[in-house]
Every structure is written in C-alpha cells, then in structure tokens.
A and B are shown apart, each in its own frame.
Chain A
C-alpha cells in the first residue's frame, strides 16, 4: 500500500478534533448543569442566612416603631446590620470584576452585628448552620486548586475548579 504519512497524521488530527468538538459541546452542558446545581445550593445557603438577619432586623425595627419608645442602641445596631447586608452582593462575587470587597470580613461583621443586636434585645441568637465556617475556605488554601487552574481563579470567591476536586462536604458546609 502506498502511504502518505503526513496525510494520515492529518486524518488522525481531524478525527480527534471532530470528536473533541462534539465532546466539548456535551461537556459544556454537563458543566452548566452541575455548576447551576452547586450555585443554587450555595446561593441559597448564603442568602438564607443573610435574609434571616435582614428579616430579624426589619421586624425588630417595626416592633420598635410600634412601641413608640425606640431604643437608641437597638436602633443603631439595626441600622448598621441592614447597611452591612445591603453591601453584600446578590450575585456570586466572582463575576463582579475587580471588586475589593472582602466577603469573609463582611460576613463576619454581619454575624457579630446580629449577635450584638440580640444582646441589646435580650434575645438568644439563633444558631445558624454555618456560623463558624468561612465562605472562602477553598481560596484560603490555593494548594487545593488543581494543576492548570487559571491564575485568576484565586480571586474568585467560590472557584468551581476547587469545588470539583475536593470532598464536596467541605465545600458545601457553610
């Protein structure tokens, strides 16, 4: 048989590329699906907690107003708490570019402000599920990022690449 070796190599490359293209399209669907499932879960967890504080402060504010004898210290805490929550992004901060917002710090401030409010009210703070964990656990340890992760990944607050390669329990425990 007469063989043109170069042509054969090209043929292999063509097959490979064709397969790659199809696979990429299929993988993309799965990536979007799995990413969405994780993002929904994470967004819900974060904002359920923040919403709780927001609702708590809002209701106490309304109670204060209805009592006609607003307490300055209480109102100060309520106002501060609501302001902090208003700063918290409603989209995954990874998409807001060049943000110098320190999410874990903001979260800590919100939690301690909530506790301070509870103390002035003489109410026991509700134990929130993830009260002790940091929202940027993955980012704190870049070593856990897989090889070949894009360099900008460390700026993302919840890098999916990390989430994918770690025991999922770790990532989802907020």
Chain B
C-alpha cells in the first residue's frame, strides 16, 4: 500500500495522508493526557462546590427535621397527657415519611452535567470508546441499589396499593412535612425557635 503510493506520481496524496496521521496521532495523545490532567485538577474544586452549595445545606435541612421529629416522637410517647398522646400518630407519620426521603429525591439537578451529557450524546459518533467518563461507579451502584429497593417495596406492597407508593417524595413534600411538624409542636405547646 505504502509502496504503491510511493511510486505513484501523485506523491501529494502520500504527503497529505502522512501529515494527517502525524497530526491526529499527536493531537490525540495530547488530548488523552490532557483529559486526565484536567479531570484530576478539577475534582477537588467540584467536590468542594457540591459539598458546600448543595450537599451540606440540604443534608442539614433534612437532618434537622428528622432530629426534631425523632425528639418530638419520643417526648410524645413518654408523656402521660392524653391530649398530647393524640399527637403521637401524627408524629410517627411525619417521622416515618422523613425517613423515607433520599438525597436523590430532593437534590437539584446538576445542570452543567446534564448539558454536557447532551453534548456527548450529540457527538456520540465521534466519541472515543476508551474514555469512559460516566458518573462515579460508587454513586451509580448506589442508585442501582435504590431502584432495587423501590422494586422490592412495590412487590412487597402488593398489587392493591395506591400509586402513592410508587412516587418518590419531592422537595415540596419536605416543606409540607416541615409545616406539619411545626403545627404539631405548637399544638402540644412547644414553641420552636427556628434556626
């Protein structure tokens, strides 16, 4: 093949193909190493952002509600007062609904991640199969386990249950539970200073 080209009158074709091979070989090698370097350099920055902007505040919000519901529940179950005892069921319901909520239910979407995923889809034909940059394996695994949990739950709940079991809670549900918790506290005479 190369010999044929070499003896061909049109040596221009040879030059062009050699040239573009050289160009793409080195460009690709650089690209590959650049991607690794760029990724490693940005991981910590991304981590810190995700931690401070989304993870910690959302976790704290949900944790606060859960802790309050837990305390209220144990207080109400210990008290002798009949009127307060009536609030027990409500407290139990709030606590169990709060327990059911997962981070993935209330986490806002990572818009940049979604946009970039779309870009990849569009450029799919060009994508290099060697480079797998999907979400972190551990997180992927966690989502898989969660969807398995959902499936088990549906199976356990049987056919007769309403569609409610199948819809995951949302951030709005968290706000509703928060209001219920405040209302319940007030109804049993506990004044909360909300931080």
Interface segment among A50-58, A98-106, A137-145: the answer is: A50-58
CA distance A29 to B113 in the complex (A): 8
CA distance A52 to B22 in the complex (A): 60
B148 CB → nearest A CB, Å: 16
Partner of A47, one of B33, B59, B192: B59
CB of A63 within 8 A of CB of B27, answer: no
Partner of B37, one of A27, A58, A121: A27
CA distance A36 to B47 in the complex (A): 5
List the B side residues contacting A54 at CB < 8 Å. 60, 63-64, 67, 195
CB of A66 within 8 A of CB of B189, answer: yes
Total B residues in contact with A, Cβ cutoff 8 Å: 74
List the A side residues contacting B36 at CB < 8 Å. 23, 27
CB of A23 within 8 A of CB of B44, answer: no
A56 CB → nearest B CB, Å: 4
Within 8 A of A (CB), among B119-141: 133, 135-139, 141
Given the interface pairs A28-B42, A32-B45, A36-B110, the reply to whether A42 lies near B138 with Cβ below 8 Å is no
Across the interface, name the chain B residue whose C-beta is closest to A61: B193
List the B side residues contacting A13 at CB < 8 Å. 26
CB of A20 within 8 A of CB of B68, answer: no
Within 8 A of A (CB), among B55-89: 55-72, 74-75, 78
Across the interface, name the chain B residue whose C-beta is closest to A122: B78
CB of A19 within 8 A of CB of B34, answer: yes
Q: Decide yes or no whether B13 CB sits under 8 A from chain A.
A: no
List the B side residues contacting A119 at CB < 8 Å. none
Across the interface, name the chain A residue whose C-beta is closest to B74: A123
Q: Which residue of B22, B27, B133, B139 has the most chain A CB atoms within 10 A of its CB atom?
A: B27
Within 8 A of B (CB), among A40-72: 40-60, 62-63, 65-66
A78 CB → nearest B CB, Å: 10
Q: Decide yes or no whether A90 CB sits under 8 A from chain B.
A: yes
Within 8 A of A (CB), among B1-60: 22-23, 25-52, 54-60
CB of B56 within 8 A of CB of A47, answer: yes
Q: Decide yes or no whether A94 CB sits under 8 A from chain B.
A: yes
Q: Decide yes or no whether A35 CB sits under 8 A from chain B.
A: yes
Q: Decide yes or no whether A37 CB sits under 8 A from chain B.
A: yes
Can you name 8 A-B residue pairings with CB atoms under 8 Å? Answer: A21-B30, A23-B31, A29-B38, A33-B112, A41-B103, A47-B60, A90-B56, A121-B74
Residues of chain A whose beta carbon lies under 8 Å from any beta carbon of chain B: 11-13, 15-60, 62-63, 65-66, 90-92, 94-95, 121-123, 126, 156, 158-161, 163-164, 167-169, 171-172
Interface pairs A-B: 8 shortest CB-CB: A168-B138, A51-B63, A43-B55, A35-B46, A23-B34, A55-B67, A27-B38, A19-B30
Residues of chain B whose beta carbon lies under 8 Å from any beta carbon of chain A: 22-23, 25-52, 54-72, 74-75, 78, 103, 107, 110, 112-113, 116, 133, 135-139, 141-142, 185, 188-193, 195
In the complex, given contacts A19-B34, A20-B33, A37-B139, what are 10 additional A-B residue pairs having Cβ atoms less than 8 angstroms apart? A18-B30, A21-B30, A23-B32, A42-B51, A46-B55, A50-B63, A51-B61, A56-B71, A59-B72, A90-B56
